[in-house]
Amino acid sequence: VANFTINNDAQCFRGNTFNYNSTSTSVGGSNISSYSWKFGANASVATANTSSQSNVKYGVIGSKTISLVVVDANGCPDTIEKPILVKDHPVAVTTVNSGNQCFRANSFNFGSAGTSAVSGSSISSYAWTFGTASVPSTSTSASTSNVNFTSIGTKNIQLVVYDANGCNDTVKFVS
C-alpha cells in the first residue's frame, strides 16, 4: 500500500524545503522493491527512486501534486498522490513623513500604506525596528507616529509584515 509523509504540505515560497518519506507497506510479507517519485513542475528535483527525498524546493508558487509509485517484490504496483501548496508572500511597503529632519525636535511618522496580503489572506502583524537610538525602538502597529532619534546620522529602519498564511515580507530603508 503506497503512502508517504511530508514534513509540511503548505509552505511559504521563500525558503520552502519539502521532505518526503515513504511509509508504504507491502501485503503478505514481501518487501517494497522499487520507489518512483514525481515532484511536479518547477521542483529542484523532478524525480527520485529512493524511499525518501529531502530538500525539494519549488521555484514557483501554487498547488502541486506529488506522486509515489511503489512496487513490491511480487511485482505488484500501487500509487498515491498528495497535494502540496507553495504560498505567496505579502508585500511590505513603508512611508515616512520626512526622511531628513533636524536633530532638535525630530519626529518621524512611519506608515505601511500600500502593504498588501495575497488574495485570500490578510496582514496579521507588523514588526517595526527603528534602532537603539530611537524612542520607541520597536513597534507592532501598522503605523507609528512621533519616533524620535536620540543621535544624529543615518538610521536603518526595518518593517516585517506577517500574513494570515504564516508568510512574511521585509523591507529595509535608510533615513
pLDDT tens digits, residue range 143-163? 999 999 999 988 999 999 999
- Provide the whole-model pTM: 0.82
pLDDT tens digits, residue range 20-66? 999 999 887 789 999 999 999 999 999 999 999 999 999 999 999 99
Contact predicate 122/130, CB 8 Å: no
pLDDT at 7 over 90: yes
3-state SS, one letter per residue, for 122-158: CEEEEEEECCCCEECCEECCCCEEEEEECCCCCCEEE
